[in-house]
Each structure stands twice: as structure tokens, then as C-alpha cells.
Amino acid sequence: MKVPVDRRRTILIFIIMDLLFAVGLFLSCMTLFLFQKWGVIQILIIILYVLTSIGMLVLSLVRNFYVIENKYLVQVRAFKEAYYHYNDVVYIDKEQSEKKRTLVFYTNKGHVRYLAFDRNGEIYQAMLKKCNNLLSKEEFKKRYPNVKM
């Protein structure tokens, strides 16, 4: 089942990053934009920036989703896919996940993963239901003492 990431959250993060990139672009080309008379180059840079921003926003919204399968969860971002097998998940931090609306889980290798929630929290519910090897917090700390939570 294909589940899109929360679009409002994606747009908010994109706007923040886009504004930071715009400031960086302006600062790197400050002498070019401070001329009294603007020419074709300044207009082309702005048009190229706007078109690139629109393209990246569309790509972010269209190619950012999860696929819930029977044995694993697939995270698709742009042109990359990450597979998270349910049997490899040993601990889900329910408190942090519900508080931040970001799925926080640890694999059997001790790696932590953060996945942004979808709008209804379906990936969170699927992970809780389909992960069979979940440990309690105390058991996880005993088994993986070097992992910081």
C-alpha cells in the first residue's frame, strides 16, 4: 500500500531550505545584483532559480512516499529506495515517535532511523503491528549498551 508523506510538513521544510538557498545565492552573486541597471544575466539567474525551485518542489511532493509491504517498509525519496525489514526492527521509541510525529526505531545492528510520519500515522501503526522482534526499553538497553537513546 502506497502512503504519501505529510505534504504540509514537506512543503514547510522545502520553503525553509529554499529561502536559505536563495539567501546563499544572493550573497554569492551580490555584486551582480547590486548594479543599478539590470540586464539579461540577472533575469536569467532569477528565472533559472525559480524554475529549479518549482521542479524540486514537485519532485519532493511526487517522489516522497512509503510503501507498506508484508515483510518490509519501503521509503522512496526522489530516486532512492530504502528497505526496512520488520524482522530487523528491535525497538520503536513510542514516546518520541508520538511526540515529534517522526517514527524513531532501532535496527538489530543498533542503528537508529527517523522516518517522517504520513498524515494519518499509518507507517507507525504498521510498524507496531508487523514488527515481531520488539524489545522493551530495558531489554534493548541491556542488549545494546553502547547505543544512545
| pLDDT tens digits along 64-79 | 999 999 999 999 998 9
Residue pair 86/131 in contact by the 8 Å Cβ criterion: yes
Residue 77 domain-assigned?
no
Contacts of 66 (CB under 8 A, 6+ apart): 2, 3, 4, 5, 73, 74, 75, 76, 115, 118, 123
In a domain, residue 36? The reply is yes
Domain-embedded: residue 54: yes
Q: Give the range of the structural domain holding residue 55, as residue numbers without chain letter.
A: 2-62
Q: How many structural domains is the chain composed of?
A: 1
Question: Closest Cα partner for 140 from 99, 98, 112, 100?
Answer: 112
Q: Is 105 or 148 the better-scoring residue by pLDDT?
A: 105
* Domain assignment present for 57: yes
Residue 147 confidence (pLDDT): 86
Per-residue model confidence as pLDDT tens digits over 88-147: 999 999 999 999 999 999 999 989 999 999 989 999 999 999 999 999 999 999 999 888
